[in-house]
Structure 1
Amino acid sequence: MTVALEAAGARTSPTAAPCLRPVAGVAAVLLGAVISTLNTRVTSFGLADIRGGLGLGFDEGSWLTTAFSASQMVVAPCAAWFSIVIGTRRFLIWASVIFILSSLLLPFMAGYEAVIALQTIRGLAVGTFIPASLGFILRSLAPRWWIWGIAAYAFRFTFSQNVAASLEAWYSETGQWQWIFWQNVVLTSAMALIILWAVPREGINRELLRRTDWGGIIFAGLGFGLLYVALDQGNRLDWLNSGVVVGCLAGGLLLVAAFIVNEAIVERPLIHLRVLSQTNVAVPALLICSYGFGAQATAYVLPDYLTRIQGLRALQVGDVLNWIALPQVLIIPLVVLALRRIDARLLLAVGFALIAIGSWMDTGLTHDWAGGDFLPSQIVEAVGLAIGLTSLVTFAVSNIKPPQAAAIAATIQISRLFGIELGTAFMQTFVRVREQVYSNLIGQHLSAGSDVVDRVVTALSNVFGQRANNIGLETSQGMAQAGRFVQREAYVLAYIDGFWIVAWVLALALLLLVLLRRPPPNPMTPPRIDAPAPSR
């Protein structure tokens, strides 16, 4: 990416309209980014169908998503580098072939070990798509069109993350769970064919290959991968009470520490540490993590409520999430036009504020809320997500200098993956613990024999009385139903707390914006208006 950015201005006129092949090439790599995000979410939504189709238990199935996502983290630090060293065309074609074959074969696998192995291979292959796309966009388009490419890069995250529920639901409703994997054969084949036609051949840069920081690649990939495994399995295995989680945390932290030491002492590090110490690089990385955390309001809390409390099927949940996905098509072009005239920092503040407001609107939740009740907050969040991520990525990329390009590309991808996983792991544990707390607190106010409890149990017992065959059975059924009511209300209160957490995290993230400095003039920033010189 370093070499590419230096040559970008020489190969393209800053104001030239993009030609067909470069645009097709950009569309292909962006399709790869969509495939990557879509697969992660579809696999998560369709985990029950995959377990049933492959005959896996709950514990075995939980490792399917972990193996797939952690593998993407393993290749995140080095994917942008290797796309430069061996060429984007060669790099993505080989990754596409591996991903197509592993996706095609996985539904036919019988053994658990073979399934996990193929999931890991799939993750390693698809994990190259997103890091390689950003650099290709910048060196393939004329500078004036960079912002449109970056907007499309940001669009694919919010769109594919929320449309995945409807897609998986369609597979589930039609009984075609295999297409969770086979969809990649079609999509990735189309991507590879376009790349073969549109992306120019590049020779292997043997000088860069010789200078590759293999130690940094190994330490960073394995370290971040182990930390991801710990986060992904932490809630299920009860965190520090599990030897697996403790081992992954300890090993991951040691390897990351070794990576930092390695980068400090080697002559040509994979990621220059001084780059990460710059305010306009470190703060956007934290904001990307915050954005990933904030997206969990729609990625986890809302779907879990609709499934658990309202009993909605996946297709119905997808209909609700589409109110975030579909408006992106209209919002993103408007955001690009705004970025031409308004400082990205201001738009970033607006985006984060809208996400926080949308989450705050959901704190009025009751057990009666159905899909339509979330429509106002979903629209507010849709606008906020579109403005926030597009402005954030634009600001981060506008601070790129050629020697820093590969480091920033890796930083964006690692921050994105960690932000999403931190949000998911935290919310899963938080909702589980808060439900237990609220169940206990409600139970303390409902003692057996009290007038309120007796009236509720009697009313419920009368409902079951006509169907009860044994004496006393209707009373036990009434008590059980009352217990379910208590648990339902405890979950609702836990979800409300979850929405509050998201709102506060995004509100606090706004404070980080004061640390950002105006990026240097470039085609992605609005023109500066210099103050008039004072008259003499």
Structure 2
Amino acid sequence: MTTAAEGAPIAVDPAQADRIDPRKLGVFAMMTLGMFMAILDIQIVAASLPQIQAGLAASADQISWIQTSYLIAEVMMIPISGYLSRALSTRIMFTASAAGFTLSSFACGLSPNMETLIVLRAVQGFIGGAMIPLVFSTSITAFPRSRAAQLSAGMGLIVTMAPTIGPTLGGAISEHLSWHWLFFVNVIPGALIAAVVWIYADFDKPKFELLRKFDATGFVMLAVSLGLTQFILEEGPGDDWFDSRTISTMAIIAIVAGAAFFLRMRGRENPLVDFSVFKNSNFTAGSMVAFSTGVALFGLVYLLPLYLARIRGLNSLQIGETLLVTGAAMFLAAPAAAMLSRRYDPRAVSAAGLILLGFSTREFALVTSQWGYWELFWPQVGRGAGLMLTMAPLNVIALGTLESAKVPNASGLYNLSRNLGGAFGLATINTILNDRTVYHTRMLADNFDISRAVVSERIASFTAYFSSMGLPDPNTAALRALSNIARREAAVLAYSDVFQLLTLACLMTAPLLIIATPPKAGAQPGGH
């Protein structure tokens, strides 16, 4: 018996279409924890490099390679993670990444010398590099698109929170345990994450035939280009950039390898990296903003601890306690960011976040050598809220209008943009910080006139103090103390200059969102 309704489209309950499978959400939460672990690992190790250097009797040149080797290897994996996840499935790829990261972390903690640790850090960075882009792509493909803003807010919280609490955790581990535990701390959560994802994840199906089509030659080109680029950005500030023949040669090789890789990918049936996603204006805008946001995010994460350590003389724990304000602000702003991103145009929300981030960074430009917790409090609140308002809708803007099949590849490129932005930002910041410190030192020295009353009074005060301390040459000690103050103030002025440049970067980035279109409302099914 037939009815009038037979053959008609089946009505879908909007509430049902908007529903998130609790099992999928639980697995996704574990994947997100893995992403947090990977980002946090970089920060806690960076905060404890002196302890590792002392423990392994390493030189200053060697110790920097603990981070450099990790970052170079990670940047090689990120763009190909989409191809590998389509070949192996999200379940297999993420499990392999989490398990490999965990095992290499354990091996790092057992390293008998610096050479072994550097190699193992490269292994850890390469294998673990897939976790972050896989989480981003899963948030879009495995859940209704209407829920993307909420999931994005959670991911944005983790991406920005991990660098904030990293110095605190790293300092605590180094102080109360040993440097080995900087790596051992990953073992139990890493094993749990890998087990849960392996047993319960079911987001997509593998396409093993893609493994046979893996472009090894193209990967070598990509690895050379990105690896050398990361190396140049890490080492360039200390080697006077292109005044160094090594840096200049590497830059040429990186450009040639990158151009060759791009040309090789054009027209291929299954390219290792599909650059056609840049035809989507939202993805292009989102990637450009991600690059600039990486400059601001990693730049501030780098500058504030540096200021507190070098100018204020705080230890890792004290620095972490001061910077927790940013983490608390992000945590409190996350629900509002998710709600605003879902209710209003994500472009407007992200632009508002960039403007708030810019003006809060402008407050940092007023810094003096006496700033402490309370002077940094409100600028940090603005920074945390601004970052959250920027990051939560940005993921939706960049990835939310792409076909599900294109999202894994796009996620790799999107995360690569943010990482390269951070690397470029840190390299630029270090260069400007050094140059402006020298400039301000010279300017202060030019105005150092012993005949001025204020200068002579300060020298007399220092001389009297050092004389009371019984020093054999109190006058020389007084001049040296005054010189140290001048160098400190020159450094503070240089920090102020960099904060002003970061302010401009944030404010100039917001208009880039104009080229994007607002993602369509409504739930859209995920899947590959």
TM-score (norm: length of structure 2): 0.92
Change over 3 Å in CA distance of 1:374–1:150 after alignment to 2: same
Gap change, CA 1:82 and 1:488, over 3 Å in 2 = same
Shift of 1:265: 4.5
Partner of 2:74: 72
Q: Which of the residues 307, 310, 323 maps onto 1:308?
A: 310
Q: CA deviation at 1:201?
A: 8.9
The answer for unaligned runs of 5 or more in structure 2 is 1-11
**Partner residue in 2 for 1:189:** 191
In the alignment, what sits opposite 2:514?
514
Give the structure 2 partner of residue 444 of structure 1: 446
> How much has 1:452 moved relative to structure 2?
4.1
Task: Name the counterpart of 2:478.
Answer: 478
- Cα distance in 2 between the residues matched to 1:369 and 1:302: 11
Choose 441-450 or 375-384, whichever is displaced more.
Answer: 441-450
Greater CA drift, 112-121 or 432-441 = 112-121
- Higher relative CO (Cα under 8 Å, sequence separation at least 6) belongs to 2
Which stretches in structure 1 are left out of the alignment for 5+ residues?
1-9, 525-536
Find the aligned partners of 1:220 and 1:303 in 2 and give their Cα distance: 33
- After TM superposition, the structure 1 stretch with the greater mean CA deviation from structure 2, 214-223 or 350-359, is 214-223
**Partner Cα distance (1:155, 1:216) in 2:** 35
Spell out, residue by residue over 1:166-225, the C-alpha distance to the aligned partner (whole angstroms, 9 max, x if none).
Answer: 111211221422221111112211211221332139764133333434443332233112
Quote how far apart the aligned CAs of 1:376 are: 0.7
What is the CA-CA distance between 1:88 and the residue it aligns to?
1.9
Deviation at 1:76, TM superposition (A): 0.9
Amino acid at match of 1:433: D
Checking the alignment, whether the CA contact within 8 Å between 2:109 and 2:182 is kept in structure 1 is no
Aligned match of 1:528? none
Report the AA paired with residue 426 of structure 2. T
Q: Is the 8 A contact 1:151 1:336 kept in 2?
A: yes
8 Å Cα contact 1:77-1:221 kept in structure 2: no
Post-superposition CA distance 1:109-147 (Å, at most 9, x none): 223321111010011111111112222333433444333
Residue pair 2:47, 2:170 contacting (<8 A) in 1 also: yes
Structure 2: distance between partners of 1:113 and 1:437: 38
2-structure distance, mates of 1:454, 1:492: 23
Q: Is the 8 A contact 2:297 2:422 kept in 1?
A: yes
How far does residue 500 in structure 1 lie from its aligned partner after superposition?
0.4
- Partners of 2:519 and 2:22 lie apart in 1 by 31
- More displaced 10-residue stretch of structure 1: 316-325 or 197-206: 197-206
Q: Tell me the equivalent position of 1:137.
A: 139
Question: When the two structures are aligned, how many residues end up with a matched partner?
Answer: 513
Q: Distance in 2 between matches of 1:284 and 1:40?
A: 24
- The equivalent residue for 1:294 is 296
Q: Which moved more, 1:138-147 or 1:296-305?
A: 138-147
- What TM-score, normalized by structure 1, do the two folds share? 0.90
Percent identity among equivalent residues? 22
Residues 488 and 276 (structure 1), Cα distance of their counterparts in 2 relative to 1, 3 Å cut: same
Residues 1:212 and 2:214 aligned together: yes
User: What CA deviation, in whole Å up to 9, does each residue of 1:79-115 have, x standing for no partner?
Assistant: 1221121122222222223222221122332233211
**Which residue of the partner structure matches residue 160 of structure 1?**
162
Q: Is 1:503 equivalent to 2:503 in the alignment?
A: yes
* Equivalent residue letter for 2:519: P
Q: CA deviation at 1:448?
A: 4.9
Q: 1:363 to 1:189 in 2, by over 3 A?
A: same
Give the C-alpha shift of residue 312 in structure 1: 0.8
Q: 5 Å matches for 1:246-395?
A: 246-395=248-397
> CA 1:487–1:419 in 2, change beyond 3 Å: closer, same or farther?
same
1:297–1:498: 8 Å Cα contact kept in structure 2?
A: no
Q: Deviations over 1:225-245 (max 9, x none)?
A: 210111011122332233443
The letter for the 1-side match of 2:39 is T
Partner Cα separation in structure 1 for residue 458 and residue 67 of structure 2: 42
Report matched runs for 1:395-414 at 5 Å: 395-414=397-416
Q: The residue matched to 1:212 in structure 2 has which SS?
A: coil
The match for 2:7 is none
Counterpart Cα distance in 1 of 2:15 and 2:145: 8
Q: Secondary structure, in 3 states, of the residue corresponding to 1:266?
A: coil
Distance 1:506 1:201 in 2: 36
